[in-house]
Chain A
Amino acid sequence: MRTRALIAVSLIGLLALLLFGLEPRAGAQGGGTVVGEVKYQGTPPAPGMLKVTKDTEVCGKEKTSTELVVGPDKGIQWAVVSVTGAKGSPPKPAKKPALDQKGCEFHPHVLLVPAGAEVDILNSDGILHNIHTFSTANAPFNKSQPKFKKVIEAKFDKPEIVKVKCDVHGWMGAWVVVMDHPWHAVTDAKGTFKLENVPAGKHKVEVWHETLGKVAKEVEVKAGAETRVAFELGKK
């Protein structure tokens, strides 16, 4: 009788340990959250408009430039916020990262990809596109993706910010951010971002934008708490 009770308690204890002990919880290992927004300093310029001269049935007649996308509250979209010099391993995403070409635009404009993971590059347009990457740490490549090639697989091994371009449609551009640790985020349409489970302590948080450059700030992260950071980027 006692042996059975002992076994039962041990099993329940083991189960509890398994369920609650090993599973990392928010704040259970001393991580905090960094939130904030990236705003444009000064008056944002009007977005550039480009005339489409080919494949207008698929691409439309005009395209807005994606080089600088500023929302009504001056929030800058597509800026990448990361904790510099953080030690960690690349995150495991829920599903395979994908870069889609739709309506002659890359979706998303900035894609976060863990180092060493495979990326699906999709052509949802049914016309010729090509994937031309510009990188130094990773081997650059230039592969054609005609209408009958729906998916190209690519792999990026080294942490880097890789420019991707389509030469057939010169306005099409995207950025692949190859992560070697999980603390990266891309600002949304309002310019806000959220970095979760950042280890407690002093960190340097950096924001990168394709035309406005880089800005870094010192941040003190407290376990289980939210730290606010605001960035302002403007024309240099």
Chain B
Amino acid sequence: MKRLLGSRFLQAILVLVVTFVIFRFGIQPPAPWSVVTLYMAIVLLSVLVWVSADSDSWRAFLAPIRATLVEERRRPLLYALLGLLPLGVGYYAYLQAAPRTEAPVELRVIHPAPPSSITFRGKTLDIQGLENPLRKDAATLEQHVREGGTIYVRNCVYCHGDNLDGQGHFAHGFSPPPANLADPGTIAMLQESYVFWRIAKGGPGLPKESTPWNSAMPAWEDRLSEEEIWKVVLYLYAATGQEPRRWEHAGGPGPAVVSGGGRPPGRTLPGPAAAEAQQAGDAALGRRVYERKCAYCHGLEGKGDGPAAELLHPKPRDFTRGLYKIRSTPSGQVPTDRDLFEVITRGMPGTSMPAWPMLPERERWALVAYMKTLSDRFQGEPPKPVEFPKQIPASEASIARGKEMYEAIECNKCHGDAGRADGPSAPELEDDWGHPIKPANLTRPWTFRGGPRREDIVRRLATGLMGTPMPTFGETVQDYKEYKKGESEEKQDPKVWAEWKDANLWDLANYVRSLGPERPNWATFLVVRGVEGEIPLDPAAEFWERQPAANIPLVGQVIQDPREFAPTVDQVSVRAVYTSEEIAFHLAWDAPTPSEPDPAKKVFADAVAIQLPVKLEPTERPYFLMGDGARPVYLLTWRSDGGVGEANATGLGKLTPQHGEAVQARGQVAYEDGRYRLVIKRPLETGDANDFAFPAREFFPVAFFAWDGSNGEQGSKGSISSWYYVRLEAPSSRRQFVIPPLVVLLAVAAEVLAVRWARRQGAGSR
């Protein structure tokens, strides 16, 4: 061992390995690879310097290398290395030579210098030295914070989130993402007047270097008064437990700071899972936490009527009825303490109920205890969880049985034949409070309220979702098995029963889970593939199935009035191809019904639009919400009551369709099983100055809009996306197949030379 450690070569290797382990696993959170690579390069250089400190050391270091190259007994090792090295290098070269498309890096200044003064609704305000006037009076501070909170949950929560962490339920649709106000790098570093400027003037008020055209931040000047904005600023600091940066001139004691209006930031990692026995929480503490954190949506009395509730869909739960969706207990029973704890901790995906892991565990149990006091249905015997049937893996046979059950039970009545929530009963469904409610779109497991895993689905089927039309199917599967048994006896075919005797809810859950992926796989940019021949107009053509699809998230237009808080379309799948003549886009999106326009009933046409700039500029773009006066946009449009068209726009609600000869786009739509599919084609060159000319080798921006007419969406009320990068794919080059073999040959040649040289050296020294 000592001899081994004495070997210079191995010492060097040991140093390299240990430092690598420290850099890779010892730094938390993990450092990026580029940083680790840099450090390792420095360490390598240092090690080489160290081993070559004197000629003895250098010789000792090189000794094993020389030995491997020369000695007979090390031949196998040498051959192994000689074989692997060129292969490794060749593979690396292959990866590097592959045509890759990466979105170009877009630099933006996060905290640009503010202007020295701004005009707010005609009044001039000096940003320099401006203090929040509402901080002066400590007596009214608490009330102002609460009012600021009310304004926040009715305007800001959709992007910036209930926890002010930039994780609002629309946040994933915007790039750049909404600011994480709880992060110490945002409002904690800024003066309140700076924050005031940002809120008042929004994205459009940003200087060019901060890419205002990408920013989804509205300019709130048009909707909030000066005092309202100052109230919101108070709330932002109080709720994140931060203090604003002060102006240097501030003399005496600083103005009153509110504590307890919010929770100090800082992650408290969830503790070990509590025992299954009911945990006694402190209802009094729970009430305090509830009033600070939950009352804005759920209301001070738990009736689901907080100030945020009006604009939220689905609505926050009314706890006073004791009806809960996500439970492990049978239909008609209240949830267990653990059920409530889990929903608070994990949140409910697809809704505005966030996850609360940052609340200490003690506080979450306290909330559970408090929630139980809100409805007397919790009095009496504690509920017992439903018995879980034995797990069945998601085999093909299981999924086939699940599909048969799905059809026999007729789940398609609400969930649709393909699971897209387009069943005939879906439009009239109401929850127990009389609000319209949509069935789950089973092709989107990441939106399931109780989670996308198979065991979550089994639990929902076994317990039903109280307060909604979704019933319990716990006994139903048993009944179906009885029915199958009878069928088996009738047909005198024991094979039928053999197949079904072990079936249970897991089969149905396995089928449901097979309808969509657990995570959405959002795209970050698009590539338009080059193809040959005629591009089919039929959206159902097999040609389109073979093209890779990019999933683009769509969120509600909550930036300019009139806003859409509960849009129907939440995603569009985009495929795009081009030939030397034409370019074509294939869009697919889910909509529960094809709309029949009827303005009296506030039902309009279904529509989508693909937005492109009119002119491609290197540094600036049009505003992502249909452009502006200085930079108009060009749109490829489709309407269910007008077909395919082209248009130009200079802002939301300022759309001018093109007419007659100017429209060179053609398209075809198909609607089936709750999904629209559309192909829009256009010649690459149109010669029309109002049309966008697709560049051959550059990235250009694209954005998407969608409207579901049955949901009253039209004009500015609809679903939107941010700008995404797209480019026409470069024609495939041979580089990938030429360079790697050359590299391998070079590596082999180098090796041969190295071995020869070593042998000559060795022979010379003997």
Which residues of A line the B interface, CB within 8 A?
53-54, 127-128, 130-132, 134, 139-144, 146-149, 167-170
15 contacts between A and B (CB under 8 A): A130-B471, A139-B332, A141-B332, A141-B472, A142-B471, A143-B464, A144-B476, A146-B408, A146-B410, A146-B479, A147-B408, A148-B408, A149-B476, A167-B414, A167-B425
Given A140-B432, A142-B471, A149-B475, 17 extra CB contacts under 8 A: A54-B425, A132-B469, A134-B432, A139-B377, A140-B466, A142-B464, A142-B466, A142-B470, A144-B472, A144-B473, A148-B480, A148-B482, A149-B479, A168-B410, A170-B425, A170-B428, A170-B430
Q: Which A residues lie within 8 Å of B637 (CB)?
A: none
Whether B469 contacts A167 by the Cβ 8 Å rule is yes
Asked if B323 lies at the interface with its beta carbon under 8 angstroms from chain A, I say yes
**B381 vs chain A, min Cβ distance (A):** 11
Q: Which residue of B lies closest to A142 (CB)?
A: B471
Most chain A CB atoms below 10 A, which of B413, B429, B470, B482? B413
Whether A143 contacts B333 by the Cβ 8 Å rule is no
**A21 vs chain B, min Cβ distance (A):** 44
**B332 vs chain A, min Cβ distance (A):** 4
Whether A130 contacts B469 by the Cβ 8 Å rule is yes
Whether A144 contacts B332 by the Cβ 8 Å rule is no
Q: Which A residues lie within 8 Å of B333 (CB)?
A: 139
Whether B469 contacts A142 by the Cβ 8 Å rule is yes
Q: Which A residues lie within 8 Å of B468 (CB)?
A: 142
Q: Which A residues lie within 8 Å of B476 (CB)?
A: 144, 146, 149
Asked if B409 lies at the interface with its beta carbon under 8 angstroms from chain A, I say yes
Q: Which A residues lie within 8 Å of B568 (CB)?
A: none
Whether B425 contacts A169 by the Cβ 8 Å rule is yes
From B331, B425, B432, B473, A168 is in contact (CB under 8 Å) with B425
**B177 vs chain A, min Cβ distance (A):** 38
Cα–Cα distance between A143 and B331 once the two chains are bound (Å): 8
Cα–Cα distance between A174 and B429 once the two chains are bound (Å): 17
Cα–Cα distance between A23 and B475 once the two chains are bound (Å): 44
From A139, A148, A168, B414 is in contact (CB under 8 Å) with A168
Q: Which residue of A lies closest to B432 (CB)?
A: A134
Q: Which A residues lie within 8 Å of B475 (CB)?
A: 143, 149
Whether B471 contacts A144 by the Cβ 8 Å rule is yes
Q: Which B residues lie within 8 Å of A170 (CB)?
A: 425, 428-430
Whether A127 contacts B410 by the Cβ 8 Å rule is yes
Asked if B264 lies at the interface with its beta carbon under 8 angstroms from chain A, I say no
Cα–Cα distance between A128 and B410 once the two chains are bound (Å): 6
Whether B323 contacts A144 by the Cβ 8 Å rule is no
Those of B223-278 within 8 Å (CB) of chain A: none
Q: Which B residues lie within 8 Å of A134 (CB)?
A: 432
Q: Which A residues lie within 8 Å of B494 (CB)?
A: none
Cα–Cα distance between A54 and B429 once the two chains are bound (Å): 13
Cα–Cα distance between A149 and B473 once the two chains are bound (Å): 11
Those of B425-439 within 8 Å (CB) of chain A: 425, 428-430, 432
- How many pairs, one residue from A and one from B, have CB atoms within 8 Å of each other in the complex? 73
Q: Which B residues lie within 8 Å of A146 (CB)?
A: 408-410, 476, 479-480
Cα–Cα distance between A139 and B323 once the two chains are bound (Å): 10
Asked if B424 lies at the interface with its beta carbon under 8 angstroms from chain A, I say yes
Asked if B522 lies at the interface with its beta carbon under 8 angstroms from chain A, I say no
Q: Which residue of B lies closest to A138 (CB)?
A: B332
Cα–Cα distance between A53 and B425 once the two chains are bound (Å): 8
**B13 vs chain A, min Cβ distance (A):** 66
Q: Which A residues lie within 8 Å of B377 (CB)?
A: 139
**A207 vs chain B, min Cβ distance (A):** 25
From B323, B408, B425, B429, A140 is in contact (CB under 8 Å) with B323
Q: Which A residues lie within 8 Å of B413 (CB)?
A: 54, 128, 168
Most chain B CB atoms below 10 A, which of A53, A141, A169? A141
Q: Which residue of A lies closest to B334 (CB)?
A: A139
Cα–Cα distance between A142 and B409 once the two chains are bound (Å): 15
Cα–Cα distance between A86 and B573 once the two chains are bound (Å): 66
Those of B474-510 within 8 Å (CB) of chain A: 475-476, 479-480, 482-483
10 interchain residue pairs of minimum CB distance: A167-B469, A128-B410, A54-B424, A139-B332, A141-B332, A144-B471, A170-B428, A148-B483, A142-B471, A130-B471
Q: Which B residues lie within 8 Å of A53 (CB)?
A: 424
**B403 vs chain A, min Cβ distance (A):** 15
**A156 vs chain B, min Cβ distance (A):** 11
Those of B23-76 within 8 Å (CB) of chain A: none
Cα–Cα distance between A147 and B407 once the two chains are bound (Å): 11
Q: Which residue of B lies closest to A169 (CB)?
A: B425
Q: Which A residues lie within 8 Å of B425 (CB)?
A: 54, 167-170
Q: Which residue of A lies closest to B323 (CB)?
A: A140
Cα–Cα distance between A86 and B765 once the two chains are bound (Å): 120
Those of B412-455 within 8 Å (CB) of chain A: 413-414, 424-425, 428-430, 432
Whether A143 contacts B480 by the Cβ 8 Å rule is no
Cα–Cα distance between A25 and B53 once the two chains are bound (Å): 122
**A67 vs chain B, min Cβ distance (A):** 15
**B460 vs chain A, min Cβ distance (A):** 12
Those of B367-424 within 8 Å (CB) of chain A: 377, 408-410, 413-414, 424
**A235 vs chain B, min Cβ distance (A):** 20
Cα–Cα distance between A137 and B48 once the two chains are bound (Å): 82
**A176 vs chain B, min Cβ distance (A):** 14
Whether A147 contacts B410 by the Cβ 8 Å rule is yes
Given A130-B471, A139-B333 in contact, is the A144-B424 Cβ separation under 8 Å?
Answer: no
**A222 vs chain B, min Cβ distance (A):** 42
Cα–Cα distance between A168 and B428 once the two chains are bound (Å): 9
Most chain A CB atoms below 10 A, which of B331, B377, B408, B482? B331
**A211 vs chain B, min Cβ distance (A):** 15
Cα–Cα distance between A53 and B408 once the two chains are bound (Å): 20
Q: Which B residues lie within 8 Å of A148 (CB)?
A: 408, 479-480, 482-483
Cα–Cα distance between A91 and B490 once the two chains are bound (Å): 42
Q: Which B residues lie within 8 Å of A128 (CB)?
A: 409-410, 413
Cα–Cα distance between A144 and B429 once the two chains are bound (Å): 15
Q: Which B residues lie within 8 Å of A143 (CB)?
A: 331, 464, 471-472, 475
Q: Which residue of B lies closest to A139 (CB)?
A: B332
Q: Which A residues lie within 8 Å of B464 (CB)?
A: 141-143
Cα–Cα distance between A131 and B473 once the two chains are bound (Å): 12
**B178 vs chain A, min Cβ distance (A):** 37
Q: Which A residues lie within 8 Å of B409 (CB)?
A: 128, 144, 146
Contact with A along B135-179 (1 / 0, CB 8 A): 000000000000000000000000000000000000000000000
